[in-house]
Amino acid sequence: MLLLRCPLLLLLLLPLSSRPQKLPTRDEELFQMQIRDKAFFHDSSVIPDGAEISSYLFRDTPKRYFFVVEEDNTPLAVTVTPCDAPLEWKLSVQELPEEASGEGSGEPEPLEQQKQQITNEEGTELFSYKGNDVEYFVSSSSPSGLYQLDLLSTEKDTHFKVYATTTPESDQPYPELPYDPRIDVTSLGRTTVTLAWKPSPTASLLKQPIQYCIVISKEHNFKSLCAVEAKLSSDDAFMMAPKPGLDFSPFDFAHFGFASDNNSGKERGFLKSSSKFGRQTSSKPRVDLHKVCIGNKNIFTVSDLKPDTQYYFDMFAVNTNTNMSTAYVGTFARTKEEAKQKTVELKDGKVTDVFIKRKGAKFLRFAPVSSHQKVTFSVHSCLDAVQIQVRRDGKLLLSQNVEGVRQFQLRGKAKAKYLIRLKGSKKGASMLKILATTRPNKQSFPSLPEDTRIKAFDKLRTCSSVTVAWLGTQERNKFCIYKREVDDNYNEEQKKREQNQCLGPDTRKKSEKVLCKYFHSQNIQKAVTTETIRGLQPGKSYLLDVYVIGHGGHSVKYQSKLVKTRKFC
């Protein structure tokens, strides 16, 4: 039944009379017409001369292909590319019947008789292979005859590719590898690997258009680009293959996960969906497998890798004219380990300054020397919010974002050890001060109200003064107010860059100081203070800062306020 599947193959089985019929070759107009549309060969049992075909094997279901070599001493090259499963394949040849018997009548033998004659003969085996390598049969002088290529997949349903030519010297559709086809790892980091390789002679000598595609995997190396594309495609793509014996047009292979014929010169890939067979599929990129094509460069740095992780790297040279590829010898490398974090020891009741890189983290350890009922962590974030996590003997007790000053009181435990993880902001570097203590009355940071803004009264604004107010707390603290003249084009962005709350009054010029005063109120609703700042210039802009200073001498800055005096009074 296999021999009757394709009308082309009937040409093999018709009698060979004074005008013998044969398979079309590239010298014939018919073949030239057919080769422009490679979908014609997708379900054909005939292998065209000089064109790569893609097809599909069902597990344990053999498939046979034919092609004719018309003259003795003909060069021949056959390449079989397994995609995602090992293949067993065998190439054999048998002679074609040259003349009809018919008692010299010149009448051709019946079709069934010739068919039986061809299929009953096993032919001479030329080559066989079993595995998942891209394997070749090459002969500089092959006999004429009918060649059979038998393929079988015993592992699973799979895709594969076949290429055969009688002019291998002039075709050269596959890029040639350099004398040293290895990929070199020239640089290795925690998240980067730099690769280098020698260019393909097809590009450097023959000047054919070659691009290089790099494949990064966490599992293993790949032996063909076809295998990579099969792995990258969704698993459901294989469910879209035709059922054995299903009557369909060979042009429908565009729906079976094979590249459309309109994609010649582009990378072959699986279609994302097919409505013909009633199943919707989507190609989901695998997080452990990536392919990137980089043009004709022969050095490339792979970035965004994970530290202390083994990766496998493969390189494929792709001829962009034929879309056929050749694999370099793959390599593997393990990225460097993440630098071990140095753990900072916190001392009871002592403030520690911490600097964290953007998106970075710092680890601190607090091990009280005496038994304790409670432990207090005070955190002062100088810039953007930071995240704090506290674990006691491995158990997570606290996970919070901190902006400004925050205090956390946790239940203590005898001989407990606390591990503090501080994670920085995504916006930029983070600075903070942290204090850990087992003594509840030991508070170095001043208490703050929830609202640390400075309010300016527009109606009380004059040509030489402004009046402002801010909130306090029930705790008696010292407040110092400072002023600085700024340009009229001073904006919120510049003010934001100066919002380091950890910079105290000691960093300011004495001439900028307005006054200092103590203030508190037992009634939190009335904990408001006002101040009029005098001696200002008409029509000028000033940046006002209020610092609250705690008993331990540490200060916290309120949000800066930009004010402007009236120009005319």
Task: Check residue 104 and report its DSSP letter.
Answer: G
Q: Residue 265 has which token pair?
A: 């010169």
Collapse the DSSP code of 80 into the 3-class scheme (helix H, G, I; strand E, B; otherwise coil) and give the result.
strand
Q: Residue 189 has which token pair?
A: 């980091």
Element (H, E) at 409: strand 395-411
Superfamily of domain 344-437: GOLD domain (2.60.120.680)
Single out the residue of 248, 246, 239, 247 nearest to residue 270, CA to CA.
239
Please tell me the distance from the alpha carbon of residue 553 to that of residue 445, in angstroms, as a whole number. 8
Element (H, E) at 375: strand 374-392
pLDDT of residue 321: 85
pLDDT at 531 exceeding the cut of 90: yes
Average pLDDT over residues 491-517: 81
Q: Residue 59 has which token pair?
A: 């597990």
- What fold, for 51-95+123-171? Jelly Rolls (2.60.120)
102 vs 424, higher pLDDT = 424
- Intrachain domains 173-236+288-339 and 454-564 with the same fold: yes
Torsion sign, CA atoms 228, 233, 239, 243: negative
Average pLDDT of the residues of the chain: 77
Q: Flag whether the pTM goes above 0.85.
A: no
Pairing type for strands 395-411 and 374-392 reads antiparallel
Note the pLDDT tens digit of each residue in 48-78: 888 888 888 899 999 988 888 888 888 898 9
Confirm if 68 and 147 have CB atoms less than 8 A apart: yes
DSSP-assigned beta bridge partners for residue 66: 46, 148
The domain locations on the chain are 51-95+123-171, 173-236+288-339, 344-437, 454-564
Q: Is residue 171 classed exposed, middle or buried when 0-12, 13-18 and 19+ CB atoms within 10 A define those classes?
A: middle
259 vs 186, higher pLDDT = 186
pLDDT of residue 457: 95
Average pLDDT over residues 551-560: 84
The span from the first CA to the last CA of the chain, in angstroms, equals: 106
pLDDT at 345 exceeding the cut of 60: yes
pLDDT of residue 438: 87
Please tell me the distance from the alpha carbon of residue 227 to that of residue 222, in angstroms, as a whole number. 7
pLDDT at 207 exceeding the cut of 50: yes
Q: At 12, phi and psi to the nearest 5?
A: -70, -30
pLDDT of residue 496: 65
pLDDT of residue 243: 41
Please tell me the distance from the alpha carbon of residue 49 to that of residue 162, in angstroms, as a whole number. 11
pLDDT of residue 144: 87
pLDDT at 14 exceeding the cut of 60: no
Q: Residue 82 has which token pair?
A: 């397994």
pLDDT band at 120 (very low <50, low <70, confident <90, very high): low
Note the pLDDT tens digit of each residue in 289-305: 889 999 989 999 999 89
Q: At 83, phi and psi to the nearest 5?
A: -95, -60
pLDDT of residue 320: 87
The three-state (H, E, C) secondary structure of 282-311, written as one string:
CCCCCCCEEEEECCCCCEEEECCCCCCCEE
- What fold, for 454-564? Immunoglobulin-like (2.60.40)
pLDDT at 25 exceeding the cut of 60: no
Most confident of 35-49, 107-121, 215-229: 215-229
pLDDT at 269 exceeding the cut of 80: no
Class of domain 173-236+288-339: mainly beta
Vertex 36: Cα angle to 30 and 40 (nearest 5):
75
Considering only 243-252, 351-360, 464-473, 525-534, which range has the smallest mean pLDDT? Answer: 243-252
pLDDT of residue 169: 79
Average pLDDT over residues 162-176: 84
Average pLDDT over residues 437-456: 82
Element (H, E) at 513: strand 513-519
pLDDT band at 493 (very low <50, low <70, confident <90, very high): low
Single out the residue of 165, 216, 189, 198 nearest to residue 49, CA to CA.
165
Please tell me the distance from the alpha carbon of residue 176 to that of residue 327, in angstroms, as a whole number. 10
Most confident of 91-95, 100-104, 497-501, 562-566: 562-566
pLDDT of residue 95: 81
Contacts of 379 (CB under 8 A, 6+ apart): 386, 388, 402, 405, 406, 407, 408, 432, 433, 434
Task: Spell out a b/e string for 107-133, using b for 16 or more CB atoms within 10 Å of the CB, else e.
Answer: ebbeeeebbeebeeeebeebbebeebe
Task: Check residue 8 and report its DSSP letter.
Answer: H
